Structure 1
Amino acid sequence: MEVSLTSWILASLAAFVIGMSKAGIKGIAVINVTFMALAFGAKESTGMVVPLLVLADVFAVIYYHRHTQWSYVFKVLPWMVVGLIIGVFTGKDLPEDVFKIGMATIIIITVFMMFWWDRKKVKTVPSHWTFSSFIGIIAGFTTMVGNLAGAFSNIYFLAMRLPKNHFIGTAAWLFLIVNIIKLPFHIFVWETISQESLVLNLKLLPGIFLGFFVGIRIIKLINEVFFRKMILALTALGAILIMTG
C-alpha cells in the first residue's frame, strides 16, 4: 500500500484524536473520521478506522472498566446491533449527502432538546424503551456507515445522567463490543479491511497511545458540570462539521 507523506500525517493526527476521544474527550470523533477520509477516501477509510477504534477501546476498557454501568450497556446494545445490521445492507449504497444532512440534523435537534432539558427545574430521566431503541438503532446505523455513533451515544448517556467516569467507562465497553462486531462485516462484506490496512493500523498505534495519555491528563482537570457542557458543545460542533464536510 503506497501511502503519501500527507496521508501519513493525516492518519497520525486521526490516531491521536481517536486516543483522546477514547480517553473521555467525547464528541471529537468526527475529526478523526474526516482526517482518515481525506487520507484514504471515504469508503476505504471506514474500514481502516475500525481496528484503530478497537485498539483504543481496549485501552479505555482497561483504564475505566471499574466505572462501567452494565445496565445501560444492555439497554442500548441490542438496538445498536439492529441498526448496525441495517447499515451493513443499506448504508453501503446510501447517497453520502443524504446521510450527512439527515444525521447532522437529528444530532443538532437532539442537542438543543438536551440543552433545554438541562435548564428545566424538574428533570426526569427518560426510561421508556422507545428512547433507548431509537437512539440505539440510529447509533448502530451510523457507526457502521461512518463510525459516527459517538454523538448519539453521548446524548443517550447524558440523558441517563451518568457521572463523568461512569459515562466514559460505560461507553468504553459498549463501543469495544460494537466495534468488534463490525470487524467481520468490513472484512467479508464491504471488504474495506485488508492485510495491508492492518499493517498500517499497527504503525499508527503510537499515535493512539499518545492521544489516550494526553486525553486522560485533560479529563482529570474537567469537573462534572463542565464535562456535560463540553460534550453537548462538541457534539453540536461535530454535527455542523458533518453537514459542511
Structure 2
Amino acid sequence: MSDLGTWAWIALGLAAVITGLSKAAVPGGATLSVVLFAAVLPARTSTAAMLLLFIVGDVFALIAYRRHAHWPTLLRLAPAVVAGLLAGFLFLAISGDATVRRAVGVILLAMIAITLWRRHRQDRADAVAPQRGGILLSSTYGALGGFTTMVANAGGPVMAMYFLATRTQVQVFLGTSAWFFAIVNLVKVPFLAGLGLFTPDVLLMDLILAPLVVVGALVGLRIAKRIPQQLFDRLVIVLTVAGAVYLLF
C-alpha cells in the first residue's frame, strides 16, 4: 500500500463509490470498479480486494431488494454457477494476471453480442415472456457467471446480460441479483483465502475504502426507483462494453 500514489488512491476511492452505487442501482457499473482496481493493482490482488468491498455492497442491496428476488431463476442457475466457480478457481490458481484479464474481457464481449442478437430476434418475433430463458440459456450464463466472478469479480455483467436477455424488470433484476451475488461472494471467500490472496495490505486497504462503498450504496438507493427500464438496460450494456474492452486490451 505504501507504493500507491495519490492518483492510485483516487482511482480506488472512485471504484469503491461505484461499487456501492452498482450494488444498489446499476449492476453493470461494477465493471468499472473491476477495471479501476485492475488498473492499479495486480489482477489477482484486485480480485481479492474487490470481493470484500462487494460483500459490503451486498448488505445494502439485500436490505433494499431482498423481497423482489425471483427464486426459481436462482435455483435454475445454481448448478451451472457452481460448475463455473470451480472452473474459475482452477483457472485462477494456474493463470497469470494478463491471461485472467483477457479471458474475462473476451467472455464479456461475447455475452454482450449474444444478448443483443437474442433481443433483436425476440423483438422481430414479438418477444417472449419475462423470466423465460430455457435450460441452455441459464446453463450457459450461469457457468460463465460463476467463472468470471471467481477469476475477476466480473460476474455482474454476465448475469446482467442474462437478466436483460430474459427481459427481467428493474426491481426483480435488482432483487435477484442481490441474492445471487450475496450468496456467491460468500462462497468465494474460502477459495481466495486458500490461494493466500487476503494479505494484511488487502484487508487494511478494504477497511479504508469500505465507508466509500456505503456512501455509493446510499446514493444508489435514492436513484434506483427513478431509472426507467429502457435507460437502465442501456446503461448496463454501455458500461459492460466499456469495461470488457479495457480488460481485453
2:168 aligned residue: 162
In structure 2, what is the equivalent of residue 32 of structure 1? 33
State percent identity of aligned pairs: 32
Tell me the CA shift for residue 51 of structure 1: 0.8
Structure 2 counterpart of 1:116, from 110, 116, 120: 120
**Aligned match of 1:70:** 71
Q: Please give the alpha-carbon distance, in whole angstroms, between the structure 2 residues aligned to 1:72 and 1:83.
A: 17
Compared with structure 1, are the counterparts of its residues 13 and 76 closer, same or farther at alpha carbon in structure 2 (3 Å cutoff)? Answer: same
Deviation of 1:243 after TM superposition, in Å, equals 2.3
- Paired residue secondary structure (2:28): coil
Worse-matched range after superposition: 30-39 or 101-110: 101-110
The Cα of 1:11 is off from its aligned counterpart by: 1.6
How is 1:188-207 mapped onto 2 (pairs within 5 angstroms)?
188=194, 190-207=195-212
The 3-state SS of whatever aligns with 1:204 is helix
Structure 2 partner of 1:2: 2
**What's 2:228 paired with?**
223
Distance 1:230 1:220 in 2: 15
Are 2:104 and 2:154, in contact at CA under 8 Å, matched by a contact in 1? Answer: no
Q: 1:92, 1:6 → 2: CA distance? A: 30
- Alignment check: 8 A CA contact 1:101 1:243 kept: yes
What residue in structure 2 maps to residue 212 of structure 1? 217
Instruction: Indicate how the Cα distance of structure 1 residues 208 and 48 shifts in structure 2: closer, same or farther if over 3 A, else same.
Output: same
Deviation at 1:121, TM superposition (A): 4.3
Displacement, 1:134? 0.8
Structure 1 runs of 4+ with >6 Å offset:
none
Q: Distance in 2 between matches of 1:21 and 1:114?
A: 25
Residues 1:110 and 1:238: Cα distance change in structure 2 (over 3 Å): farther
Alignment of 1:27-106 (within 5 A): 27-94=28-95, 95-96=99-100, 98-106=102-110
Q: Which runs of 5+ in 1 are unaligned?
A: none
Instruction: Quote the offset at 1:23 in angstroms.
Output: 0.8
Shift of 1:224: 2.0
The 1:114/1:141 distance shift into structure 2, 3 A limit, reads same
Normalising by structure 2, report the TM-score.
0.89
CA pair 48-214 structure 1, distance change in 2 beyond 3 A: same
